[in-house]
Chain A
Amino acid sequence: MAHSGPKPPHPDTLAVHAGQSPDPATGARAVPIYQTASYVLPDTDTAAALFNLELPGHVYSRLSNPTVAVFEERMAALEGGVGAIATASGQAALHLAIATLMGRGGHIVSSASLYGGSHNLLHYTLPRFGIETTFVPSRDLDAWRRAIRPETRLVFGETVGNPSVDVLDIPALAGIAAEHRIPLLVDATVTTPYLGRSLDMGAHLVLHSATKFLSGHGVVIGGVLVDGGRFDWDASGKFPTLTEPYEGFHGMVFSEESAVSAFLLRARREGLRDFGACMAAMTAFQVLQGLETLHLRMPRHVASTATLVDFLARHEAVARVHHPDAATHPDHALARRLYPGGCSAILSFELKGGREAGRKFIEALSLFSHLANIGDAKSLVIHPASTTHFRMDEAALAAAGIGPGTVRLSIGLEHPDDLAEDLSRALRASQK
């Protein structure tokens, strides 16, 4: 028998309201910027209770801040999670997730198709702390299965890979992760909760670089980590950081304290407390300003991208376009299933003429800005092999879907006809 439950507010409404009540002190309707490092403790007993998690509340802005909490709760609502932790950057969100789940001896299985910064962390830096990562082709489900070891503690990938624009099969990977009683973490920076909710697809944890589409205007560095609250840490038996007493917090067993928010409790009480990569109140305010129009911006981003994918695919200077909107893309059907409203305002393409043509192309553009970022209101262009992914060798580049002539575009909110005209002029210049 089909049952119909109460309808939650639409994402549009959540993007504008979730996590915020009018300011109790002043009645301010906009989110106030609580630009304070700390909070007055009314008496010693209340102070002790706040520090000991007997009472909820703010004690120090590295642990929590009212402005930042609005952003965290808004993201939890948009993603359908139990809560969130905002971080100083997307990289900090990834590190916080990993450091909360494992220590020396831990192992991660990750998609090879990753943002260069994430690849740096996993491939170069974490091995120094005893955490190894095996990279696998994102579409090869058997490779994911083969790479999982007894000490694997996390499966990780980007919802839509950057810059190769391959689509992660979250439902299939969630099934593989569940078979091995380990969680699936996805980086949903490119898709945002507006285009698809990763937790609903089966992911257990989701992170974003809030620098990109969430804030949407290229003005801040920030990140966020959301927990779906569905993973059973006790049943898994593989996560002593969450299921055994933590001497660093009065012997607290986080999964005993709360089965659904154990991960967030430890991540905040240890990860934010000790590593300290918290989000600033001003940053949260700026991200929230952007977030309130996420539902207006994302349809325009993806619609303009579809127009330009079509334009580039037909252009004689372009050897190949990578975007799931193209019917020839290997993830076209998967993208339609998981992201029916469009999946990415990021696209990449191979220019005829290789690296030299790429140089001419980028330098001939005038509307597109040549810089290392995505998800801005302004359209952006970069040559990954020489910038974001320059530490990768040829094999790793190929595994990430990057050729020497690959150009990545992030499509902004300008009129698509003006963008096409800019591309057209630069493409002609690239072939001279």
Chain B
Amino acid sequence: MNFIVQGYPAYAYGGGRAFDPALPAIVFLHGAALDHSAWQWQSRYFAHHGYSVLAADLPGHGRSPGTPRESVEAMADWVAALVEAACVERAHLVGHSLGALVALDTALRHPARVATLALLGIAVPMAVGEAFLAAAKDDSPAAFDMQATWGHARHASLAASAVPGLSQSGASRQLVARAHPGVQHADLAACHAYAPDPRSLAGLAAPTLVLAGERDQMTPWKAGEALAARIPGARFRTVRAGHAMASEAPQAVLRELRGHLAAGPAEP
């Protein structure tokens, strides 16, 4: 469905249901150079289980036009504006990788807009290797290969897929390859540059789940564990998957998110 956010058109997938502002809202935020389909399973499930869902395409991604925002902070402002545009007071934020940084920063900058936080495949800081950034800057297919290969558990292409008949790494690679030129680099650079005030994390009030992939090659689970330790009351959980856990282990991720959301939002 389409919204006007910060004066420009924006798209968010509703999980096959019309958006009902009366229901609790979940905003799903995808990783670098991806789109809403990264949340294909979780978004459709929650849309049919009592929630209104916005699986957003960040500006310049998927069906949202424009160019990518250049910083995590600017993306966070956009997410807060999306929540406002959807006519809801606040939303549960579920983010992965870049999307997890954006969700975290939305909670820091716009706490009134955030009910709970689920941060998947996250590290703060999220340093991106020089070779990866350089390849992405040139829109090199090598950068697509890096994201597809490192973005999944090692040898994911040799393992059975959670989705019958679908190649997880193949689909992920093509999604990145279809992104507009420059998008992957802009996203990776934003991840690399993000450095929130370390003291601010201690002030986070939203109930937070940090979910890590035990076989994550990009943001090792220990980084997630370390972040969770810095957020008051945050729960740290792992699933047996690589970085792209939402598609590698959709059922396990769904279970964790259901448990997290069932715990309910913080009292205003």
Q: Does A228 contact B (CB under 8 A)?
A: yes
Q: Is the interface of B mostly helix, strand, loop or mixed?
A: helix
The answer to whether A14 touches B157, judged by C-beta atoms less than 8 angstroms apart, is yes
Interface residues of A in 261-300 (CB under 8 A from B): 261, 264, 268
The answer to whether B155 touches A259, judged by C-beta atoms less than 8 angstroms apart, is no
The answer to whether B138 touches A18, judged by C-beta atoms less than 8 angstroms apart, is no
> What is the distance, in angstroms, from A111's C-beta to the closest C-beta of chain B?
26
The answer to whether A259 touches B143, judged by C-beta atoms less than 8 angstroms apart, is no
Number of contacts between A and B (CB, 8 Å)? 149
The answer to whether B178 touches A230, judged by C-beta atoms less than 8 angstroms apart, is yes
Interface size on B, residues (CB 8 A): 46
In Å, the complex CA distance between A81 and B167 comes to 7
> What is the distance, in angstroms, from B134's C-beta to the closest C-beta of chain A?
7
Pick the interface stretch among A4-12, A114-122, A140-148, A173-181.
A4-12
The residue of chain B having its C-beta at the shortest distance from the C-beta of A45 within the complex is B49
The residue of chain B having its C-beta at the shortest distance from the C-beta of A251 within the complex is B16
Q: Which of A6, A76, A230, A232 contacts B166 (CB 8 A)?
A: A76
The answer to whether A54 touches B142, judged by C-beta atoms less than 8 angstroms apart, is no
Chain A residues with Cβ below 8 Å from B165 are 64, 68-69, 72-73, 76, 83-86, 264, 268
The answer to whether A250 touches B16, judged by C-beta atoms less than 8 angstroms apart, is yes
Q: Does A53 contact B (CB under 8 A)?
A: yes
The answer to whether A9 touches B158, judged by C-beta atoms less than 8 angstroms apart, is yes
Per-residue CB contact flags for chain A residues 235-266 toward chain B (1 = under 8 Å, else 0) read: 00000000000000011100011111100100
The residue of chain A having its C-beta at the shortest distance from the C-beta of B251 within the complex is A55
> What is the distance, in angstroms, from A231's C-beta to the closest C-beta of chain B?
10
Chain A residues with Cβ below 8 Å from B135 are 3, 5
Q: Is the interface of A mostly helix, strand, loop or mixed?
A: loop
Chain A residues with Cβ below 8 Å from B166 are 73, 76, 82-83, 261, 264
In Å, the complex CA distance between A85 and B48 comes to 27
Q: Does A416 contact B (CB under 8 A)?
A: no
Per-residue CB contact flags for chain A residues 46-57 toward chain B (1 = under 8 Å, else 0) read: 001100111111
Q: Does A206 contact B (CB under 8 A)?
A: no
Per-residue CB contact flags for chain B residues 2-25 toward chain A (1 = under 8 Å, else 0) read: 000000000001001000000000
In Å, the complex CA distance between A26 and B250 comes to 22
In Å, the complex CA distance between A3 and B159 comes to 27
Q: Does B40 contact A (CB under 8 A)?
A: yes
In Å, the complex CA distance between A268 and B174 comes to 20
> What is the distance, in angstroms, from A85's C-beta to the closest C-beta of chain B?
6
Q: Does A358 contact B (CB under 8 A)?
A: no
The answer to whether B160 touches A8, judged by C-beta atoms less than 8 angstroms apart, is no
Q: Which of A9, A49, A230 contacts B155 (CB 8 A)?
A: A9
Chain A residues with Cβ below 8 Å from B105 are none
Chain B residues with Cβ below 8 Å from A20 are 158-160
Q: Which of B142, B144, B145, B161 contacts A73 (CB 8 A)?
A: B161
> What is the distance, in angstroms, from A267's C-beta to the closest C-beta of chain B?
10
> What is the distance, in angstroms, from A3's C-beta to the closest C-beta of chain B?
4
The answer to whether A258 touches B37, judged by C-beta atoms less than 8 angstroms apart, is yes
The answer to whether B37 touches A3, judged by C-beta atoms less than 8 angstroms apart, is no
In Å, the complex CA distance between A76 and B173 comes to 13
The answer to whether B251 touches A230, judged by C-beta atoms less than 8 angstroms apart, is no
Q: Does A66 contact B (CB under 8 A)?
A: yes
In Å, the complex CA distance between A17 and B156 comes to 11
Per-residue CB contact flags for chain B residues 157-200 toward chain A (1 = under 8 Å, else 0) read: 11111111111001100110110000000000000000000000
In Å, the complex CA distance between A49 and B44 comes to 9
Q: Does B254 contact A (CB under 8 A)?
A: yes
Q: Which residue of A4, A86, A260 has the most chain B CB atoms within 10 A of its CB atom? A: A260
In Å, the complex CA distance between A4 and B129 comes to 13
Chain A residues with Cβ below 8 Å from B45 are 49, 54-55
The answer to whether B170 touches A76, judged by C-beta atoms less than 8 angstroms apart, is yes
In Å, the complex CA distance between A228 and B170 comes to 9
Q: Does A137 contact B (CB under 8 A)?
A: no
> What is the distance, in angstroms, from A236's C-beta to the closest C-beta of chain B?
13
> What is the distance, in angstroms, from A193's C-beta to the closest C-beta of chain B?
13
Q: Does A58 contact B (CB under 8 A)?
A: yes
The residue of chain A having its C-beta at the shortest distance from the C-beta of B62 within the complex is A259
The answer to whether B145 touches A6, judged by C-beta atoms less than 8 angstroms apart, is yes
Per-residue CB contact flags for chain A residues 373-398 toward chain B (1 = under 8 Å, else 0) read: 00000000000000000000000000
Q: Which of A6, A17, A21, A250 contacts B149 (CB 8 A)?
A: A6
Chain A residues with Cβ below 8 Å from B16 are 52, 250-252
Q: Does A400 contact B (CB under 8 A)?
A: no
> What is the distance, in angstroms, from B91's C-beta to the closest C-beta of chain A?
20
In Å, the complex CA distance between A26 and B166 comes to 23
The answer to whether A72 touches B170, judged by C-beta atoms less than 8 angstroms apart, is no
Interface residues of B in 76-112 (CB under 8 A from A): none
Q: Does A70 contact B (CB under 8 A)?
A: yes
Q: Say yes or no: A9-B48 contact (C-beta < 8 A), given A3-B131, A76-B167, A77-B170.
A: no
In Å, the complex CA distance between A212 and B44 comes to 40
In Å, the complex CA distance between A57 and B249 comes to 12
The answer to whether B134 touches A56, judged by C-beta atoms less than 8 angstroms apart, is no
Q: Does A171 contact B (CB under 8 A)?
A: no
Chain B residues with Cβ below 8 Å from A80 are 170
The answer to whether B150 touches A6, judged by C-beta atoms less than 8 angstroms apart, is yes
Q: Does A19 contact B (CB under 8 A)?
A: yes
Can you spell out 29 A-B residue pairs with CB atoms less than 8 angstroms apart?
Answer: A3-B131, A5-B142, A6-B149, A8-B149, A18-B157, A19-B158, A19-B160, A21-B160, A49-B45, A54-B44, A54-B49, A56-B163, A56-B164, A56-B250, A64-B164, A65-B164, A68-B164, A69-B160, A72-B164, A77-B157, A77-B170, A83-B163, A83-B170, A229-B170, A229-B175, A230-B178, A250-B16, A256-B13, A258-B37
Using a CB–CB cutoff of 8 Å, the interface residues on chain A facing chain B are 1, 3-6, 8-9, 13-14, 17-21, 48-49, 52-58, 64-66, 68-70, 72-73, 76-77, 80-86, 228-230, 232, 250-252, 256-261, 264, 268
Having A57-B251, A77-B167, A82-B166, one finds 11 other A-B pairs with CB under 8 Å, namely A5-B143, A5-B145, A6-B149, A19-B158, A20-B158, A54-B45, A54-B49, A82-B174, A83-B167, A229-B171, A268-B165
Q: Closest 7 CB pairs between A and B?
A: A5-B145, A5-B142, A3-B142, A229-B174, A3-B135, A64-B164, A69-B164
